Amino acid sequence: MKIMGTVIVVFRVMPESPDSAAAVKAALEKLKPNRLEEEPVAFGLTAYKFTKLIPDASGEIEKLEESLGKVKGVQSVENIRTSLSL
């Protein structure tokens, strides 16, 4: 039996506009992040840093990234950090 660890992934999620930011934040909270931080960008636009512990298994990071990208009002999703959890 192979024991898999967990990884910590942090994505920067950029809403399409300041008007969609609140709805994007509410949708991201439903995906149960371990941490969700607001990051001011410019001109009233806020990006979100979405942090989550996930299994260290093939395709898990991509699945999460795809789920984030499907949130209504999201312009882009960028993986800004991936590291092994202790």
pTM: 0.89
pLDDT for 21-45, tens place per residue?
999 999 999 999 999 999 998 888 8
**Distance from C-alpha of 86 to C-alpha of 66, rounded to nearest angstrom:** 25
In a domain, 52, yes or no: yes
Query: How many domains are contained in the chain?
Result: 1
Confidence band, pLDDT 50/70/90 cuts, at residue 86: low
SS3 content of the chain, % helix, strand, coil (to 5): 25, 45, 25
71 belongs to a structural domain: yes
Residue count (the chain): 86
- Tokens representing 83 are 């590291």
pLDDT score of 56: 85
* Boundaries of domain holding 10: 6-84
Please give the share of the chain, as a percent, with pLDDT higher than 70.
Answer: 94
Considering only CA atoms, which of 3, 14, 1 is closest in space to residue 55?
3
User: Is 1 within a domain?
Assistant: no
Domain CATH code at residue 45: 3.30.70.60
Q: How confident is the model at residue 1 (pLDDT cuts 50, 70, 90)?
A: very low
Rounded CA gap, 41 and 9, in Å?
21
Tell me what the mean pLDDT of segment 8-32 comes to. Answer: 95
